[in-house]
């Protein structure tokens, strides 16, 4: 159970607040599973599966190639007289969390701990809090389904490996498509302080390997310097970054709703060479592209590929075995708001908040919109706390999420 380390003054200050015990119990249970992305998530998935099956629900699992990680998808079906049996609303969350290595936590990161008005633990806000709230809601949804009052199916999608490239969600989407399920909407419960996020940028990370030819540094003409050619390509990437930022900063091709209203491109890592007196035969670097929803990878990839071809030709004219590889390491699509007007209107009504937000970080929401499912992001906690030492979610945020999900369920109910 939760360890409560509140002081007497903390307890007194919060004694009149009725926090959602069941959701906090579920959050405690989920945090106790060490689902750092490098580990298996099967223990957590099997626990949630057992719970859903006790409620009489059919659970579908999709696995990674190693069979040590799984997604879970479960549907609370609409009542027999409903006209949307294959449609419905998806509530989506990921099970994996980022590592705690090198972080000095005040308490055990995998033991939920309440101090004052906050619950601490890895995944507390990103994003086991939302999953816990949804699991708490399921019994009521099942009861409404069994009595024929649920007019729209409610789906829960729980994925693996979101933190390392959103690897699990595409398997869920392929599976539900194969089974003929066509959800009307999706809500991804990433931490937004329960505000409505309607769009986010995409992320593409590329690894570039420049293969040169070694030679003694006194005989440079006999070699092909991988670092030198890498530097030329890096210089071109920087020029392109400057170009797209100036172009979009005019907002002719930008979006003022984003904190950074243009697409960004930047070099992140570089390594190469073995000694000062050796012409290096290998240099590797990575770069990161964060595109606005109306832009694509091709906006930067096509010109970079042309530059790669140009530089490779120059290298191979000196030594045919040389050249440049360009490898995509991560590709997470942007989430667009172009088709979610109805969903946005529903969320605005339920939250009594008309504000729309757009963010630079990426989620699985882009994969849902790419699959033709209108999506927004709305969940408990602040993104400012995600991935940090002593990650926490405010207890009032869990209460707000419970209230929101209850209103959402009510909107799917036949009165």
From the list 126, 161, 162, 399, the catalytic residue is: 162
Quote the CA–CA distance of 199 and 252 in Å, as a whole number.
18
Beta bridge partners of 332: 203
What is the C-alpha R_g of the chain? 25
Quote the CA–CA distance of 202 and 365 in Å, as a whole number.
10
Residue in the structure block whose two tokens are 């693996």:
160
Non-local (6+) Cβ contacts of 382 within 8 A are: 125, 191, 193
From the list 96, 126, 248, 391, the catalytic residue is: 96
Tokens describing residue 136: 């708490």
8 catalytic, yes or no?
no
Tokens describing residue 31: 């945090």
Tell me the residue ranges of DSSP E strands in 225-300.
264-272, 278-279, 282-291
Name the nearest CA neighbour of 305 among 212, 236, 235: 236
For residue 76, the SS3 value is strand
**Peptide bond before residue 127 is cis, with ω within 30 degrees of 0:** yes
162 catalytic, yes or no?
yes
Q: CB atoms < 10 A from the CB of 148, how many?
A: 13
Can you give the length of the chain in residues? Answer: 415
Crossing angle, helix 395-411 and helix 128-146, to 10 degrees? 30
Name the nearest CA neighbour of 307 among 290, 287, 293, 336: 287
Are 206 and 303 in contact, with CB atoms under 8 Å apart?
Answer: no
Are 208 and 287 in contact, with CB atoms under 8 Å apart?
Answer: yes
Give the residue numbers marked as catalytic: 96, 162
């Amino acid at each position: 159970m939760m360890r409560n380390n509140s002081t007497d003054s903390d307890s007194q200050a919060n004694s009149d607040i009725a926090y959602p015990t069941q959701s906090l119990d579920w959050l405690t249970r989920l945090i106790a599973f060490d689902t750092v992305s490098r580990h298996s998530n099967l223990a957590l998935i099997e626990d949630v599966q057992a719970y859903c099956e006790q409620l009489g629900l059919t659970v579908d699992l999709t696995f990674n190639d190693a069979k040590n990680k799984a997604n879970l998808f479960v549907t609370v079906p609409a009542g027999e007289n409903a006209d949307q049996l294959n449609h419905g609303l998806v509530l989506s969350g990921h099970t994996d969390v980022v590592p705690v290595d090198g972080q000095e936590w005040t308490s055990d990161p995998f033991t939920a701990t309440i101090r004052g008005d906050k619950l601490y633990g890895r995944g507390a806000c990103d994003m086991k809090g939302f999953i816990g709230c949804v699991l708490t809601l399921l019994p009521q949804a099942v009861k409404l389904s069994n009595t024929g009052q649920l007019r729209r199916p409610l789906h829960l999608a729980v994925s693996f490996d979101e933190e390392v490239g959103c690897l699990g969600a595409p398997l869920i989407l392929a599976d539900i498509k194969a089974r003929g399920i066509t959800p009307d909407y999706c809500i991804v419960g990433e931490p937004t302080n329960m505000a409505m996020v309607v769009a986010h940028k995409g992320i593409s990370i590329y690894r570039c390997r420049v293969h040169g030819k070694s030679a003694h540094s006194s005989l440079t003409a006999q070699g092909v310097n991988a670092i030198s050619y890498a530097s030329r390509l890096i210089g071109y990437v920087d020029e392109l970054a400057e170009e797209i930022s100036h172009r979009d900063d005019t907002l002719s091709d930008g979006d003022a709703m984003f904190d950074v209203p243009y697409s960004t491109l930047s070099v992140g890592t570089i390594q190469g060479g073995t000694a000062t007196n050796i012409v290096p035969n290998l240099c590797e670097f990575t770069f990161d592209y964060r595109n606005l929803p109306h832009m694509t990878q091709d906006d930067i990839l096509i010109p970079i590929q042309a530059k790669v071809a140009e530089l490779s030709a120059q290298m191979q004219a000196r030594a045919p075995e040389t050249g440049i590889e360009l490898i995509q390491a991560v590709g997470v699509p942007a989430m667009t708001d172009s088709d979610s007007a109805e969903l946005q209107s529903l969320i605005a009504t339920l939250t009594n908040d008309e504000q729309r937000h757009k963010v630079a970080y990426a989620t699985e929401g882009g994969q849902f919109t790419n699959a033709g499912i209108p999506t927004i992001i709305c969940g408990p906690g602040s993104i400012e706390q995600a991935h940090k030492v002593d990650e926490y979610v405010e207890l009032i945020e869990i209460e707000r999420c419970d209230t929101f999900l209850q209103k959402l369920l009510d909107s799917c109910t036949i009165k």
